[in-house]
Every structure is written in structure tokens, then in C-alpha cells.
Amino acid sequence: MEKISIKELYRNSDKYIDSEISICGWIRTLRDSKTFGFIELNDGTFFKNLQIVFDDSLENFKEIAKLPISSSLTVVGKVVATPQAKQPFEIKATTIVVEGLSNSDYPLQKKRHSFEYLRSIAHLRPRSNAFSAVFRVRSVAAYAIHKFFQERGFVYTHTPIITGSDCEGAGEMFQLTTLDLKDVPKTEDGSIDFKEDFFGKETNLTVSGQLNAECFALAFKNVYTFGPTFRAENSNTARHAAEFWMIEPEIAFADLQDDMELAEDMLKYVIKYVMDECPEEMQFFSSFVDKGLLDRLTNVVSSDFGRVTYTEAVELLQKADKKFEYPVSWGSDLQTEHERYLTEEVFKRPVFVTDYPKEIKAFYMRMNDDGKTVAATDCLVPGIGEIIGGSQREERLDVLEKRIEELGLHKEDYWWYLELRKYGGTKHAGFGLGFERLIMYITGMSNIRDVIPFPRTTGTAEF
Amino acid sequence: MEKISIKELYRNSDKYIDSEISICGWIRTLRDSKTFGFIELNDGTFFKNLQIVFDDSLENFKEIAKLPISSSLTVVGKVVATPQAKQPFEIKATTIVVEGLSNSDYPLQKKRHSFEYLRSIAHLRPRSNAFSAVFRVRSVAAYAIHKFFQERGFVYTHTPIITGSDCEGAGEMFQLTTLDLKDVPKTEDGSIDFKEDFFGKETNLTVSGQLNAECFALAFKNVYTFGPTFRAENSNTARHAAEFWMIEPEIAFADLQDDMELAEDMLKYVIKYVMDECPEEMQFFSSFVDKGLLDRLTNVVSSDFGRVTYTEAVELLQKADKKFEYPVSWGSDLQTEHERYLTEEVFKRPVFVTDYPKEIKAFYMRMNDDGKTVAATDCLVPGIGEIIGGSQREERLDVLEKRIEELGLHKEDYWWYLELRKYGGTKHAGFGLGFERLIMYITGMSNIRDVIPFPRTTGTAEF
């Protein structure tokens, strides 16, 4: 008798009809009458439940009939086709063993719970339909990212989480220390004596692996990172978390056009992979979380992304027959309302905005010939706005050094980054994709706290 | 004319012989005479170089002939079969464009450098043969881990990096803060006022995702983590890093036997995958880094791992005709010398040691019926000793609570972990594999600093 998963049974049911199998799982619902009962069993391998029918021929019928929801079972029984019923087959149980009894105060009773409430029981919420779907999709999407890059020969690079300096200046950082906070050692001039700290210097949690990834791109040509990054920003919004995962590919012998092609191919690949592998979950999201979801994603997968320069985009927005909360003028950053207008109303598909003013972009982005804009791009998608930010990197040592000086940064801090330009540097480019933003986009979930297993946000580091 | 990678050319050379192609890469060596020259070009996609032949029919022949090592090029030319030569084919260049000129003081000249020296130029060392091989293997092994678990339906779970408490007690932790270290806020009683810190409480970097992974295993049945973990231990050895990546699968409805089977299958799968995908790199390691490597790995892949209890292992060691530095007695932890003796001399293959005394293992491991040992296992492999540590988890609420009390831990800190046992807990198990240890094992590299892109160890957080 074979031990199988519910997923295996659903995916290859023909193989199992009329045979005896063994299945483990947790009770989602249980209905009983005097002589028989039905259990909806879920084993976590599949979105759908499996119906178990049992009757008083079981020795422990009375015990089973009274089990609390979420008790865990091993069920042995025959797979029976039920073409007339809602579900295509069910199990006629011959033995049911209780593996673990649940308690009657189980917090996830059948009634619908708010996402807010479920966040307070993050250790149990993956047992609900919505979160079981979210976290299965998160796993499949993560794998799709690896698969996409590995199939193209990219080298997966674990860039460091602990950094010795805030080189990118991308955001507020968490400081890391083993010093005794009650009695921080000081030097004679009153400043903190970091020599006594673990690394002998001030250290922080990374905000981006890009600068390190560039080192590897200039050795392996095509690399990507996929790891956690951190922002200590006090922004209590539905879109910001203090800890989130980022994907940062970096490609050598490549310019901004190559970068955009890669980003477009990757987004389409991952979305399509999830739609193919998780049809039940995606159907659930499209029915219960975000009605337009599947149409929107199908549109993304099948359309050619648009391209527009920042300068053209600003003109389009200024001419728009729409009142924006924030004014638009050349030189200021686009707000989400502007981004959504461009992708949803002007282009009606994803669009890359390129060549932003240098003042609103980072020091390492490649200066365009106009001296005013840089070879940067943001990818905007309907329903969300910016999902990817990328650029061609400045490979000209003199230009890069000048930019660093202009911005009041210190060349010494970047000695190794500058050496990449000195020893056979070449044009290269890359982008960053916030993994949680992608999962929100794919699932339609609107709060970042609901796509992270155990979210860390301002004031919250539970579990 | 096709733009291709050197890997593509080597793997499918038949397709390209006599056609014109375009290749980008960096000069590894260059020899020139008056009218012609040879370049060994490497593009980072493949371990081997590609030989480029050029002559004075090139307009820029003189420039090319004098290029410093590591300059980056785009070469257009014809692929010519060279059956008599060392390499199976070469490129007869028709155009060579210099993408980036290197400097003559390039630190990676052809002479052999020590690994110690190369650590000081971690931004450039992936351009050397050894590190190009190490980091390509690291990437392929990481993918093999994902592939192994995803093909078996495991859910990849991103457990948190920032933790609110030291629940596992697995080691010294790094503290995380946004407080001003120069002026740490204190409460009236003189203790630190963590209410003013980012999360409103004391937070640290995780030492293990296991407790969180258990939550997900009790929803999804089979899950795994793969992410960075941290130890603030002041141990300056070749085997310890402050930041390293761990793989922690967790399986429900499974006991210690299932756990060991999974660990054995996973190790064999990953090693075999790397040997299949990276034959050139593995040949290099076996020739230049660790002579017995391929034999040892082949033995691991093809043998059934041994099984022995801790108690039997202690007897074997006490009877051994060998002098150990550390004495062996029931109740004390096995040292690496003991572990290596067991796997290398007694079993001559990998071996699982099981059922350790409870005193030397963690609180969450399942108590055996003898009341003295727990259902734990360490997997020992020849050449290294312990590579995996795992256990069946204590699923009995009362037993677990008693253990927590015995060890002086606080039940309140584990409320959510204990609830997993209250609401349909079931037997479950898991293990931890240090990814760097695995890479050291697969490559034969003997210092953990040489398998991490930018290592973080006591006193060192450069780049």
C-alpha cells in the first residue's frame, strides 16, 4: 500500500483509482452523522483538500467523529471515483490513526478571519487557504527565478549580508554589534571604540548586494543574487518591510537595452511558471483576492513591454487629462500615481521608463552623453507601478570618480569598486527586483506583511 | 553572426566549426611574435579558456599584441577545428575590439598566488582558475539543493533573519540596533530602553531558522530553508565564519529514519549533480587541490551510508587501536578526530550516528524511551567529520514543556512553538546542513574563507 501526497493523488488520480493508499494530513472540516462522517483532509502539498469518508465499521469511529479541527491523521483507504460529486474522487477509509489531537480552542476555525488577525498567529496562518496559497506561490516563484537564471548560465552569488560600509547609500541601515550596549567602549576623544567590536569596525546590514555582484559579473559575465536585504526606514506602510528578499542580476558586456530585455524575459518567465505550476492557487487569488488578476498577468506575459524616456514620460504626464496629487516637472521623481497612469492608461501594458535625471539616481549609473541624464530604467507594471529598477553602470573610471567627488562621497571607500574599472572593466548593467513586490503582484495580496512568512516591520519582530 | 558564450562553444562545438562567431571575454594570457599572436580568452561562463589566433591583417594588430592581461575584448572570427593541438578548436580573429583596457599592475599576474593573498583581493579573485571553479560550483550546488527539494514538492520557506529572541540557543548572536551607540537611551532603572529601538525590543541575527520552519512544516508537510545564518563566535579557525548559509529541511509525519533517508538522498543528489554539471571544475580540484577528491565523492554517491548509535560508537572508539587526543567516554561530545576515525577507518563510508545523550543536544530533540538519549543524528563523512546534524523533534507537549523547564528556559518565549504541539502536532524531523561545509567537501578547499565570495570572520568585514 502506497504512502502518497494529496498533490500526487490529484495530479495522477487515474493511477490510484480503486487502489488502497495511505495519506497523512490535517482535518480542515469534519461532518458526522450517527453512522458515518466526512473529513476534508489537507496535507499541505496541494491547495485542495481530499474528502475522506468513514463509517462505524471503524473501531475508533466514535473518537474520529468527535475530533477537533486541525487534528492530524494517517488515513488508509481505497480511492473511489465519484464522477457525480463535487470532487472527482474520495477515500473510503479502512483505518484512521490519530497522529496528534488538536485542541477545541484552535484559533483557525472555519469562519473567515481578517488578514490582520491572521498576522497575529503567523505560526498557524499557513494552514489557511489564502496563506497556504501565498507561501506555496512564493516558493514556486523563488524556484522559477533560480531556474530562469541557471538555465541561462548565470552564476548565483551570495553577496554579504554584513557590510563594512554604506556604499550604496540606498537607505537607512541597521547597525550590528557585539559591544555591550550598557557600557559602550569609547576612545579618548569620546567616539565609539569599534576596535573592540566583533569586526573591529562599524558594520551594518546590507541594503543591496549590487556593488559586490559587479565584482562577480566582471569575472563570470552573468551573475545574480537572491538574498535578504534590509532597510531601517520608519515607514509603516503596506509596501515596506524592514527585511525583504531581493534579486539582483548583473550582466557584463551588456548595456541598458540588454538589461531591459533580461528584465522583461525574467518577469514573463516567472509569472508564466507560477501560472503553469499553481493553477489552483492562481484561480483562488483571482476569485477571492483580486478579480482582475489573471487577466492582468496574462496580459503581462503576452505583451511586448513599452519603452519611453523619462523626458517623454514627463511630457505625457503634463499633457494628461488627469489631476494628480503631486505635480510633475522635469527633474523630480515620478510618484506611484504617475507610474500607474503611464502603465495603466497610456501604455496599457508594462513599460520601461529610461534615462532619468542624474540628480534623482545613484552615483554608479552611467552618464549619458547629454551630461544631464543617466542610463537608468524603471519597469512599471499595471496595478502597482515600479517593480524593477535598473541601470547600466558607469564603467569609465574618470567619469565615476568625478561623480563620487561631486556627491561628496569618499573614493577610498570604493577602492575595490573603482579597481573593477581599472582592470579590464567593460560595459555592464543590472537591476534589482524586490521579491515581495513580485509576490504581491502575482498573488494580488495588497500588504507586504501577508507575503512574508514572519514579517519584520517598524515595531514588529514577533515569532 | 552569432554572439555566443565559451561554454556554449565547448558544449556544442560541432555546431559552430567553420562558422563566424562573436565572443566577449577577458585576456588570461597573450603571446605575440612579430606578425601574429595567441590570446587565451576567458568569459567566465566556462572553466576553460578559448584560444584566439590573430595576425597582422588586423588593423589594430600592434595595439592588440601589447594589451595587458585582463583587458576585455569582443572578438569576431571563425571557429577552426584543431585536432592536432591541445585544444579542440580555436578562433581565427577577423576583428578584435578592446572593450576595456587593463592596467599593467593588474594584481593577478600569471604566477601562482597563495590563497591568503587572494583573499585580500576578493573583488578580483573569482578571475583566477581556482576561485572561478569554486564559485561556479557553489552556484551549481545551490541550484541542486533547490532542484532536489522542489522536485519533491518541498516548500521553500524564507525564515526571518532578524529575530526577537535567542530561541534556539545555538550560539553567540549579533545584536541589531538603530539606537545611537554614543548615547544609548536608558530607562529609570538604568537598563537599556529598547522601546526606542526600531523593533521596540532587543533583536539579533538568526542562528537557525528551524523553529520557524517547524511552523511551516506543520502546514505544508515538507519544507526547507536556504538562507544566511550568523554566529558571533570569536573562533578564528579555517572552519568558522560569522556569516554562512544553511539549509534546513523540516518534514512532518516523519521520524528519524525518514530524516536520515532524506539527508542521504540529498547529499548524493547534490554531489552527483555537481559532478555531472561541472566535470572540468571537479577535475581541476581533484588534480590541484585535493588528490583523493573524486574517488571520495564517487564513494559517497555509490555507498549506502552506515548507521550506528552513539552508544555503539563510543564502544567502537574505546576499543580502537588508536590514540586520540581527546578521551572518549559516554556522555561527552565526539570530537572531529573521533568522527573521522568512525567514518574513515571503521565504516569507510558516510555514517549516521544516532541517539545522543540528551545533555549534549538541544531542548527540542525527541526524548527516547530510555529517558537518557534523544532521537538526534549526525552524519559523518570521510575527510571532514560531521557535515549534517538533525533530529526528530519532540512533538509531545508535556515532554517538551518539561525539557524547557529542566533547562531553565522560559515557556513564555516559546508560546507559538508550543502551540504547534497543541493544535494537531505530529511526529516531525529535520536537519541542518552548513552550505559552506558542503562546498568545502565538494571542492576539497580547506578554508571556509575560500568558498565564500566575501567572507565575514572575526575582525574581517572587508568589501
Please, which pLDDT band fits residue B167 given cuts at 50, 70 and 90? low
Average of pLDDT values for A355-360?
A: 97
Average of pLDDT values for B212-226?
A: 98
* Chain A hits for B127, Cβ within 8 Å: 218-219
Residue B401 confidence (pLDDT): 97
Residue A297 confidence (pLDDT): 96
* CB-based contact B253 A72, cutoff 8 Å: yes
Please, which pLDDT band fits residue B171 given cuts at 50, 70 and 90? confident
Max CA separation in chain A (angstroms) = 85
What digits encode the pLDDT tens for the residues B108-128? 987 789 999 999 999 999 999
A135: pLDDT strictly greater than 80 = yes
Torsion of CA A413, A415, A416, A419, to 10 degrees: 150
Please, which pLDDT band fits residue B91 given cuts at 50, 70 and 90? very high
Please, which pLDDT band fits residue B168 given cuts at 50, 70 and 90? low
Cα B161 from Cα B45, distance rounded (Å):
32
Average of pLDDT values for B267-274?
A: 98
| Among B residues 167-206, those touching chain A with beta carbons less than 8 Å apart | 172, 174-179, 181-182, 184, 190-192, 198-201, 203, 205
ipTM of the complex in this document: 0.97
Tell which of A28, A138, A139, A172 to mutate to test the B interface (max B CBs under 10 Å). A139
* CB-based contact B463 A215, cutoff 8 Å: yes
Residue B169 confidence (pLDDT): 63
Average of pLDDT values for B370-388?
A: 95
Tell which of B74, B423, B438 to mutate to test the A interface (max A CBs under 10 Å). B423
The answer, for A347 touching chain B at a CB cutoff of 8 Å, is: no
CA distance B229 to chain A (A): 10
CA distance A10 to chain B (A): 14
A229: burial class by Cβ within 10 Å (0-12, 13-18, 19+)? buried
* CB-based contact B99 A427, cutoff 8 Å: yes
Domain boundaries, chain A: 6-100, 127-170+207-450
Average of pLDDT values for B238-265?
A: 97
B350: pLDDT strictly greater than 80 = yes
The answer, for A12 touching chain B at a CB cutoff of 8 Å, is: no
The answer, for A392 touching chain B at a CB cutoff of 8 Å, is: no
The CATH number of B6-100 is which of 3.30.750.200, 2.40.50.140, 3.30.420.40, 3.30.460.20? 2.40.50.140
The answer, for A161 touching chain B at a CB cutoff of 8 Å, is: yes
The answer, for B267 touching chain A at a CB cutoff of 8 Å, is: no
Residue B88 confidence (pLDDT): 93
Residue A167 confidence (pLDDT): 60
Residue B296 confidence (pLDDT): 94
- Find how far residue A266's CA is from the centre of its chain: 14
* Chain A hits for B104, Cβ within 8 Å: none
Exposed e or buried b per residue across B310-344, where buried means at least 16 C-beta atoms within 10 angstroms of its C-beta: bbebbebbeeeeeeeeeebeeeeebbebbbbbbbb
What digits encode the pLDDT tens for the residues B272-310? 999 999 999 999 999 999 999 999 999 999 999 999 999
The residue type at B263? A
Given the DSSP bridges, would you call strands A428-434 and A203-205 parallel, antiparallel or unpaired? unpaired
B243: pLDDT strictly greater than 90 = yes
Residue B164 confidence (pLDDT): 87
Average of pLDDT values for B13-17?
A: 95
* CB-based contact B461 A201, cutoff 8 Å: yes
Please, which pLDDT band fits residue B315 given cuts at 50, 70 and 90? very high
* CB-based contact B182 A159, cutoff 8 Å: no
* CB-based contact A192 B199, cutoff 8 Å: no
* Chain A hits for B249, Cβ within 8 Å: none
Cα A382 from Cα B9, distance rounded (Å):
40
Cα B201 from Cα B185, distance rounded (Å):
13
**Contacts of B248 by beta carbon, 8 Å cutoff, 6+ apart:** B159, B208, B209, B210, B213, B224, B225, B226, B430, B431, B432, B433
Please, which pLDDT band fits residue A168 given cuts at 50, 70 and 90? low
B170: pLDDT strictly greater than 70 = no
CA distance A315 to chain B (A): 36
Q: Is the dihedral of CA A327, A332, A336, A340 positive or negative?
A: positive
A11: pLDDT strictly greater than 90 = yes
Please, which pLDDT band fits residue A171 given cuts at 50, 70 and 90? confident
What digits encode the pLDDT tens for the residues B405-449? 999 999 999 999 999 999 999 999 999 999 999 999 999 999 999
Average of pLDDT values for A203-227?
A: 97
Cα A389 from Cα A145, distance rounded (Å):
17
Nearest to B70 among A162, A172, A423 (CB): A423
Nearest residue in A to B233, CA atom: A198
Q: Is the dihedral of CA B136, B137, B140, B145 positive or negative?
A: negative
Strand order in the sheet with B162-163: A162-163, A203-205, A175-177, B175-177, B203-205, B162-163
Cα A307 from Cα A183, distance rounded (Å):
56
The answer, for B58 touching chain A at a CB cutoff of 8 Å, is: no
Nearest to A212 among B232, B417, B454 (CB): B454
- Name the one residue in this structure whose C-alpha cell is 500615481: A337
The answer, for A462 touching chain B at a CB cutoff of 8 Å, is: yes
CA distance A128 to chain B (A): 9
Give me A346's grid cell.
497610456
* Chain A hits for B235, Cβ within 8 Å: none
* CB-based contact B462 A164, cutoff 8 Å: yes
Please, which pLDDT band fits residue A427 given cuts at 50, 70 and 90? very high
Please, which pLDDT band fits residue B388 given cuts at 50, 70 and 90? very high
Nearest to A155 among B26, B136, B156 (CB): B136
- Name the one residue in this structure whose C-alpha cell is 493553477: A279
Nearest residue in B to A426, CA atom: B100
A327: which DSSP letter?
-
On whether the CB atoms of residues B238 and B447 are closer than 8 A, the answer is yes
Nearest to A162 among B102, B220, B243 (CB): B243
On whether the CB atoms of residues A317 and A324 are closer than 8 A, the answer is yes
Report the first-to-last Cα separation within chain A, whole angstroms.
39
Q: Which of the two residues, B233 and B112, has the higher pLDDT score?
A: B233
B1: pLDDT strictly greater than 80 = no
The answer, for B156 touching chain A at a CB cutoff of 8 Å, is: yes
- Find how far residue A257's CA is from the centre of its chain: 25
What digits encode the pLDDT tens for the residues A29-62? 999 999 999 999 999 999 999 999 999 999 999 9
Cα B448 from Cα B440, distance rounded (Å):
7
SS (H, E, C) chain B: CEECCHHHHHHCHHHHCCCEEEEEEEEEEEEECCCEEEEEEECCCCCCCEEEEEECCCCCHHHHHCCCCCCEEEEEEEEEECCCCCCCEEEEEEEEEEEECCCCCCCCCCCCCCHHHHHCCCCCHHHCHHHHHHHHHHHHHHHHHHHHHHHCCCEECCCCCEECCCCCCCCCCCEEECCCHHHCCECCCCCECHHHCCCCCCEEECCCCHHHHHHHHHHHCEEEEEEEEECCCCCCCCCCCCEEEEEEEEEECCCHHHHHHHHHHHHHHHHHHHHHHCHHHHHHHHHHCCCCHHHHHHHHHHCCCEEEEHHHHHHHHHHCCCCCCCCCCCCCCCCHHHHHHHHHHHCCCCEEEEEEEHHHCCCCECECCCCCEEEEEEEEECCCEEEEEEEEECCCHHHHHHHHHHCCCCHHHHHHHHHHHHCCCCCEEEEEEEHHHHHHHHHCCCCHHHCCCCCCECCECCC
* Chain B hits for A44, Cβ within 8 Å: 155, 219-222, 252
Cα B28 from Cα B151, distance rounded (Å):
39
Total-model pTM: 0.97
What digits encode the pLDDT tens for the residues B30-67? 999 999 999 999 999 999 999 999 999 999 999 999 99
Tell which of B9, B132, B186, B221 to mutate to test the A interface (max A CBs under 10 Å). B221
Residue A166 confidence (pLDDT): 59
Please, which pLDDT band fits residue A331 given cuts at 50, 70 and 90? very high
- Find how far residue A271's CA is from the centre of its chain: 12
Contacts across the A-B interface (CB distance below 8 Å): 320
What CATH architecture does domain A127-170+207-450 belong to?
2-Layer Sandwich (3.30)
The answer, for A235 touching chain B at a CB cutoff of 8 Å, is: no
* Chain B hits for A427, Cβ within 8 Å: 99
Average of pLDDT values for B361-389?
A: 96
* CB-based contact B45 A122, cutoff 8 Å: no
* CB-based contact B158 A71, cutoff 8 Å: no
Nearest to B176 among A136, A174, A422 (CB): A174
CA distance A112 to chain B (A): 18
* CB-based contact A199 B460, cutoff 8 Å: yes
Cα A423 from Cα A214, distance rounded (Å):
13
Region label for A331, one of left (φ > 0), alpha (ψ between -120 and 50) or beta (otherwise): left
The answer, for B403 touching chain A at a CB cutoff of 8 Å, is: no
What digits encode the pLDDT tens for the residues A230-245? 999 988 899 999 999 9
* Chain B hits for A192, Cβ within 8 Å: 181-182
